[in-house]
Structure 1
Amino acid sequence: MKRLIGTAALLTFALATAARADVTADEVWDGIAAYYTDLGQKLEIESRNRQDDTLVLSGVTLTSEDTAASATVTIDQIRLRELGDGRVEIVLPQEIPLRVSAKVVGKSDPDVAMRMTQSGLSLIASGTPQDLTYDFSAPSLGFAITDMKVEGESAPMSFNVILSDNEGFWRVTDSGARRIVSEMKAAKADFEATATDPKGEGKFSASGSMVGLTSQTDMTLPAGVGMNDMGAALQAGMSISGEFGYQGGGYVMDFADKVDSMHSESTVGEGALRFAMSRQNVTYGVLSKDVRINSQVASLPMPIEMALSALAFDLDLPLSRSDSAQPFAALLRLSDLTVSDALWSMFDPAGQLPRDPATLVLDIAGKARVLTDLLDPQNATQITEGTPAELDSVELRELRLTAVGADLRGDGQLTFDNSGPTPRPVGAINLSLSGANALMDKLVAMGLIPQDQAMGFRMMLGLFAQPAGDDMLRSQIEFREDGGIYANGQRIQ
C-alpha cells in the first residue's frame, strides 16, 4: 500500500509539473515581444491572427536606435504552432532582411543592407511564461551584406558567412529581473569578403573557415531599464558574460592597388574569447594557439613567414565611481615567436645572431580609485581631458623579454601617494638582464651599431645595474618616501 501511495503521489506530482510546464503560442510570443520592448526597441505588427493551433504574425518590424546607429529587422511572417504536448514550434522565413544606418555628424549616414538566412531550422519553445527554453538546430545559418551606401553612393563590397550543423538553446527566466542563458555550437563557419575602391585603384578579397565553434553567454537585465543607455542599465544591475571558442581555422587574403600587391595565408589552432561586464568592472580576454602567417608582398624579395605558439591578452578594469580602490589587471603574452630564415637574412646574412624563439610577457595588477562613472556619457569631458582615475598600487607580477640571446626579467610593487599635485610612487622594481654584452658585441661586429654607441650603452648599464655573474646584470630601482629614486642604493634623482 505504501508503494502504491508513493507511486500515485509521484505520478500526481509529475503530471502537475507537466501541466505547469505547458506554454501556449500566445504566451511565447508575448514573452518575446516583452523582451525586445524592455530592451528599448520598437516592435510593430501588421496583423495577429489565430489559425487553429497556430498563432500567425504578419509584417513584423523591429527597430532599434541609439545615438550611434539605427537598425531595422523586417520579418514577413512568424508562425507559432502549439504541438499538443506543452511545447510551441516557431517557424521563421528562410530569409530575413536587416538594415543598419550609422550616424555620422556632418555627413550622409552610411547605410548597410544585410540578409540573415536559415535552412532546416527547428526552433521549439518549452517551459512556462516565466521560465522559457528555446531549443534549436539548423543545418545552415547565414549572414550576408547585400548592399552598402556611403554618402549616398554604392560601395562595391560583399561579406558572407555560413555556419554549418548548428545546435543549442537559450533560456529566459523572469523573476523581476530577466536572465538569459545560452549555449550554442557549430561544426564550421565559412566566410568570404570582397571590396573594391570606388575609383578603381585597389581591390581586396579574403576567405576562410573556422571549425569547432562553441559559445556560452549569461545576461541579466533589470526590469524597466532599456539598453539604449548602457551606463544607466549597468548601474541598475545589468550584467553580461560570455565565452566563444574554436578548435582551429585559417584564411587567405589578397590585396592589390596601383603601387603594390600582397597575398597572405594564415592558420590558427584552438582559441577562445571571453568577456564580462557589470556595474563593477569589465573584463576581456583573447587566447590563440599555434598561429602561423605566410605573406608575400610584391615589392619585397622574399616571403614574410611568422609563427607563434600562443598569443594571449587579458584586461580587467573597474568602471564605476568608488571611494575605495578597486582591482585592475592586464596581461600580454607572445610565446615562441619565430620568423623565417629568409627574413632573418635581410639584416643578419652571416647568421651571427641567435635565432631562438622570442617571448614577451607583461603581467601587471593593482588597485585604482575610479573618480567618475566611465560609461556615463555626461562624464565624457572628464574622461578625455581630466583625471578619471588615480592609481593606488601597481604590482609588476612578471616582465619577461627573451630574444636574440638576451633575457630581461622583472618584478616589483609600487604604492602611490596621491595627496600632492602629482602621484608619488613608493616601492621597488627588480630587474635582471643576461646576454646583453654578447648581443652588443654581435651588433657591433655586424655594423648595426657603432663601437662608441655600444660603449656608451655599457656605461649607462653600469650606472643602473650591478654584475651578478657571467654576462648577468641585476638592478633594483627604488622609489622612496622622500621622493628620491635609487638604483642599487645610489640616488639617481
Structure 2
Amino acid sequence: MRHWTGRSAGALTALLLGTTAVQADVTAAEVWQGLTDYYGDLGQTVTTGSSAMDGDTLVVTDAVFASETPEGGTKATVAEIRLKELGDGRVEVTMSEEIPVAITAKPATGEAVDMAMKITQSGLAMVVSGQATDMTFDFTADTIGIRTEQTEVEGDTVPMTLDATLTGNAGNYRIVTEGARNVTSTMTADKLDFAVSGKDPKAETDFSASGSLAGLSGTSTATMPDAVDFADMGAALQAGLAMEGTFDYTSGGYVIDGKDGADTVSIQSTGGAGALKFAMSRDGLSYGGTGKAAQIAIQASALPIPVDLSVAETAFDMKMPVSKSEEAQPFGLLVKLIDFEVSEGIWAMFDPTTQLPRDPATLIVDLSGAAKVLFDIFDLHEPAAPDASPGEIESLDINEVKLSAVGAELTGSGAMTFDNSAPVPQPRGMVDLQLVGGNGLIDKLVAMGFVPEDQAAGAKMMMGLFAVPSGEDTLTSKIEFKEDGGVYANGQRIQ
C-alpha cells in the first residue's frame, strides 16, 4: 500500500497527463516505455490487455498498475490510453476519464481493509516532448478528482466516503533517465474541494468534514537510483534515493461536525496563506509548515459557551539526521505560535474583573545543533536494540525561546556542547534568561485567588535564588555549565 501514496497516485493522473521545450523527437512507443519503466522503479508491475499502433496512435487497453507487499497492495486499471504522434516530434496523450483503484491493507495487527476508489479527470490536455532519455509531460485539466466507491473492514461494509476535486489544473513532469532517474515537477490548481464522512452505527458515532484550499502550487524533485526498492527505505536512501517538495496555498478553511451518542461538536476554521515542505535523503529528513491568520470557532455540547480562537502565524520545522556516521550531523526544531487569542467569553469565565491583560500570547522555540546517529534510522535489517541510544548530541544552540502571555514575558538564548564520555552527557556552556512582569503576574494570581500567598512567596524566593533584578519587574539569569561539572546561576554554584 505504501507505493500508492501521493507521489505515485498523483503521478498516475498527472504523468499520464503532461507540452515542453526540449527540441528533440519522441515516439509514442518511447513515451509508453518510459512510463512503464518509471512505475517499475516505484515497485509496481504494469500489464496490458493489448498494445498496438492504429495509424499514428499507440492504443493501450486495460493497463493495470499494481503493487503488492506483505501488508497489502494497490491496483489501478486504465481502460484505454491513446498516445498520438503529432508529426512534430511530440506525442499527445489522452486517457479514460475514470480510473478504478483497489486498495487492500492487511496489517500484521489490526483490521483488514479493502477500499474501492476512482480517480477521475475532465478536460485533460497533455503533450509529451523531448527524447527517450529526457521527456517532459506538460498538462492542463479542468478537474482531477478522487472518490471512494466502497470500504470494507473485515468483510463488513463501512459507511465512509471521501471526495476530493482539484479544479483549474496545470503543470509538468520532467523525467531524465541518464544515469539515475531524476524527476522534477511543478503544479498549480485554482482550488481543492474535499468532503469526508463516516459513521459507526454500533457506537452511535458519526462525523463529517468538508473544506477547500485556494491558490495551490507545488514543486518537487526526486532522484531514484537504478533498481531502488522502496520497501527497504534504509537501503534505498543509502543507495542515493533523495526527494523533496514544497506545497503552497493562498487561503483555506474547513467545517467538522461530530456526534458521539448525545454529545455533539462543531468546528469551523478559516485561514490565510500556508505552506508545507518535505525533504528526505541519506543526509537527513526534514519537514515543516507555516500558516497565517487562522480563526477557529468551536461549539460543543460538553462546553458551556462557544469557543473562538485565532492565531496570526504558526510554524513548525524539524530537521534530523537518519544515517549512521562518525561525524556529527545537523538537527533543528522550530515551533512558532504568534499572537494567539481566545474569545472574551473564555476570559470572563476565570477573570471576570479583568485583572489579567488580554494581550495575545506568543510561543517561540528555535533550537539547532549537531548529533551523531549510531545506526541507520530506516535500516530494517539491523534494527537497534530496544534499550540502545539512537545517538549522541554534541552541541545545542538555543537560538530563541520566547513565551509571552497575560502581561509576562520569558525570553532566552544560549549555546552548549556535550561531553559524551560520561554515562550521562555533561553539558558545557551557558543560557541567558530574562523574565519581565513575573512578579506582577504572581501578585495578580494571588489577588484572584488562584495562588495561595505562601506558595507565591515561595515562588518569588526561588526566582530570587536563580535570577537578579535588572529593571522594573525584570529578572535576568545566566546559567553556566562548567568543566568542573558544576551548574552556576549568576556566578553562584547551585549544583
The TM-score range, normalised by the shorter chain, is over 0.9
Calculate the TM-score normalised by the size of structure 2: 0.94
Shift, 1:456, TM fit: 1.1
Shift, 1:200, TM fit: 5.2
Shift, 1:276, TM fit: 0.9
Give 1:100's match in structure 2, choosing from 103, 106, 112: 103
Give 2:244's match in structure 1, choosing from 241, 244, 263: 241
CA distance, structure 2, for counterparts of residue 299 and residue 454 of structure 1: 33
Correspondence for 2:414:
412
Correspondence for 1:196:
199
* CA RMSD, 1 decimal: 1.4
1:350 match: secondary structure: coil
Shift, 1:39, TM fit: 2.0
Give 1:362's match in structure 2, choosing from 359, 365, 373: 365
| 1:276-321 CA distance string (max 9 Å, x none) | 1111111111000001101111232211101111000011111111
Give 2:344's match in structure 1, choosing from 336, 341, 346: 341
Shift, 1:476, TM fit: 1.2
- 8 Å CA contact 2:22, 2:130 repeated in 1: no
Is structure 2 residue 65 aligned with structure 1 residue 62?
A: yes
CA distance, structure 2, for counterparts of residue 406 and residue 365 of structure 1: 26
| 1:35-73 CA distance string (max 9 Å, x none) | 111222111112212211111111211112335442111
Letter aligned with residue 359 of structure 2: D
CA distance, structure 2, for counterparts of residue 25 and residue 174 of structure 1: 17
Unaligned runs of 5+ in 1: 1-17
Max radius of gyration: which structure?
1
2:48 match: secondary structure: strand
CA distance, structure 1, for counterparts of residue 214 and residue 158 of structure 2: 31
Give 1:144's match in structure 2, choosing from 140, 143, 147: 147
Is structure 2 residue 37 aligned with structure 1 residue 23?
A: no
Letter aligned with residue 412 of structure 1: G
Give 1:275's match in structure 2, choosing from 273, 278, 299: 278
Give 1:403's match in structure 2, choosing from 396, 399, 405: 405
Letter aligned with residue 471 of structure 1: D
Letter aligned with residue 411 of structure 2: R
Shift, 1:19, TM fit: 11
Structure number with the bigger relative contact order (C-alpha 8 A, sep ≥ 6) is 2
Letter aligned with residue 485 of structure 2: G
CA distance, structure 2, for counterparts of residue 484 and residue 118 of structure 1: 67
2:443 match: secondary structure: helix
- 8 Å CA contact 1:327, 1:368 repeated in 2: yes
Correspondence for 2:438:
436
Shift, 1:259, TM fit: 3.4
- Aligned pairs, how many? 475
Identity of counterpart residues, as a percentage?
Answer: 48
CA distance, structure 1, for counterparts of residue 68 and residue 233 of structure 2: 13
Letter aligned with residue 229 of structure 1: D
Letter aligned with residue 397 of structure 1: N
Correspondence for 2:222:
219
CA distance, structure 2, for counterparts of residue 330 and residue 224 of structure 1: 34
Displaced runs of 4 or more, over 2 A: 65-69, 378-382
| 1:328-376 CA distance string (max 9 Å, x none) | 1110010000110001111111111001011000000100011111111
CA distance, structure 2, for counterparts of residue 341 and residue 424 of structure 1: 47
2:471 match: secondary structure: coil
1:30 match: secondary structure: helix
Correspondence for 1:452:
454
CA distance, structure 2, for counterparts of residue 463 and residue 378 of structure 1: 52
Give 1:288's match in structure 2, choosing from 284, 291, 303: 291
- 8 Å CA contact 2:330, 2:369 repeated in 1: yes
Letter aligned with residue 489 of structure 2: A
1:413 match: secondary structure: strand
1:175 match: secondary structure: coil
Letter aligned with residue 482 of structure 2: R
Unaligned runs of 5+ in 2: 1-20
| 1:178-234 CA distance string (max 9 Å, x none) | 111111000011111111113151111111111000010011111222322221111
Calculate the TM-score normalised by the size of structure 1: 0.94
